[in-house]
Amino acid sequence: MSDTSPGPEEVRHVADLARVGLDDEEVERFTDQFADILDYFETLEEVPEVDREADLVNVMRADEVRDSLTQEEALANASETEDGYFKGPNVS
């Protein structure tokens, strides 16, 4: 295990950042697995700095009104709606 691999508290912290609920068993398992996986990822340190020549161009289109989903279609997969809007939990 590397010195820098996250302990259970850090796994919980990352889960909070990612908004993913974990139970205690998952925290324990992930702590072990992340140590192995991140150890392996650390071999990226050996990669030399590389000239990245991205040959990219922007793809633009005219900003014109066109047909889109109806409000009803857009809301069809929401678990709760109210007055034609998505319904979410309190923001506080």
- Does 49 help bind another protein (rule: CB under 8 A)? yes
CA 35, 41, 46 angle in degrees (round to 5)? 135
As a whole number of Å, the end-to-end CA separation of the chain is: 39
Q: Report the residue count for the chain.
A: 92
Among 24, 65, 83, 91, binds another protein (CB under 8 A): 91
- Does 31 help bind another protein (rule: CB under 8 A)? no
Q: Which residues are at the interface with another protein (CB under 8 A)?
A: 6, 11, 14-22, 26, 29-30, 33-34, 36-38, 40-53, 59, 61, 69, 73-74, 76-80, 86-92
